[in-house]
Amino acid sequence: MSILKQIGQYLYLVKKDPNDKPTQWMSYMHGINRISILLFLFAMLVLIFRLLRH
């Protein structure tokens, strides 16, 4: 699976594979990854905003 497709699944942009059987631990991992991606994107927006304000 490509990295961009996986990120799309984390952020609910791409449908998940119906043949995939997620376990409970996999769900936790996906949740943590989703939070970290969103925090990273938020931090990038803050940095861009600060650079443009200067």
Distance (Å, whole) CA 9 – CA 19: 14
Q: How many domains does the chain have?
A: 1
pLDDT of residue 26: 77
pTM of structure: 0.59
| Residue 42 structural domain | 3-53
pLDDT tens sequence across 1-54 = 577 877 777 676 666 667 777 778 878 888 898 899 899 999 999 999 999 997
Distance (Å, whole) CA 42 – CA 23: 29
25-50: b or e for each residue (b if 16 or more CB lie within 10 Å)?
A: eeeeeeeeeeeeeeeeeeeeeeeeee
